[in-house]
Amino acid sequence: MTDTSIRLHLPVLPASGGAVAVSGGQAHYLANVMRLGGGDSLLVFNGEAGEWRARITEISRKSVILVLEAQTRPPAPEPDAWLCFALLKRQKTDLVAEKATELGVSVIQPVITARTQADHVNLDRLRAIATEAAEQCERLHVPEIRPPLPVLKLMAAWPAARPLFVADERRTSPLLGPATGPTALMTGPEGGFTDQELDAIARTPRVARVSLGRRILRAETAAIAGLALHLAAWP
């Protein structure tokens, strides 16, 4: 049986015909949740190797052995787009990570501001959410989840070559347009950035304030809507 609805992200894949062992939660998922058996097939992928059809040769509750049979999609470039968003409460942060992955970002950078609703995050949880989202939406890449940074520290170290678009809740800036190269979108907390933070952002190279439309959006909605505006037309 081949079930192409099952996609599994594996950070390392062997050459065609090679075998790879899957253990832990992924083995449990294949054996006990999806109830696959020897001879069944699924899709495995990562950004460097592309996507492959793999056949199960051995399976138990703790370990699954897969053999790669044929490449179904070659590696392909994806948007070089970062999302920098002010940390929210856990459920909203989880939602942003999931939807940012589906929309195609390459880096998710949580940001700590004076008005953030949280000051820490479970990075392993966010990475698991991003991985599951990539498996579901047929991406080849799983975005990098970076540790939270204070906004002033992030701005001080900002790469000068990367444009930074900052969502303007005052709606007085031009509407955010489609990305055409390396890019980053920053969204703030529910209470907005402080004047000190806005000054630091304004001094950052290649920064531009942008509007996300006529309405005032919740922080999690702003991140998702902004990425949809920015990345929908990416080739």
Structure tokens that stand for 15 in this block? 């050459």
- Reported as a single tens digit per residue, the pLDDT across 140-174 is 999 999 999 999 999 999 999 999 999 987 767 89
Domain boundaries, the chain: 2-73, 81-231
Q: How far apart are CA 173 and CA 216, in angstroms?
A: 13
Task: Read off the pTM.
Answer: 0.92
**In CATH terms, is domain 81-231 a member of 3.40.50.2300?**
no
Q: How far apart are CA 235 and CA 231, in angstroms?
A: 9
pLDDT at position 170: 72
Structure tokens that stand for 135 in this block? 């498996």
pLDDT at position 42: 96
- CA distances to 80, 133, 209 from 123, rounded to whole Å, are 21, 15, 29
The CATH homologous superfamily for domain 2-73 is: Hypothetical PUA domain-like; domain 1 (2.40.240.20)
- Reported as a single tens digit per residue, the pLDDT across 176-224 is 999 989 999 999 998 889 999 999 999 998 999 999 988 889 999 999 9
pLDDT band (50, 70, 90) for residue 235: low
Q: At residue 21, does pLDDT exceed 80?
A: yes
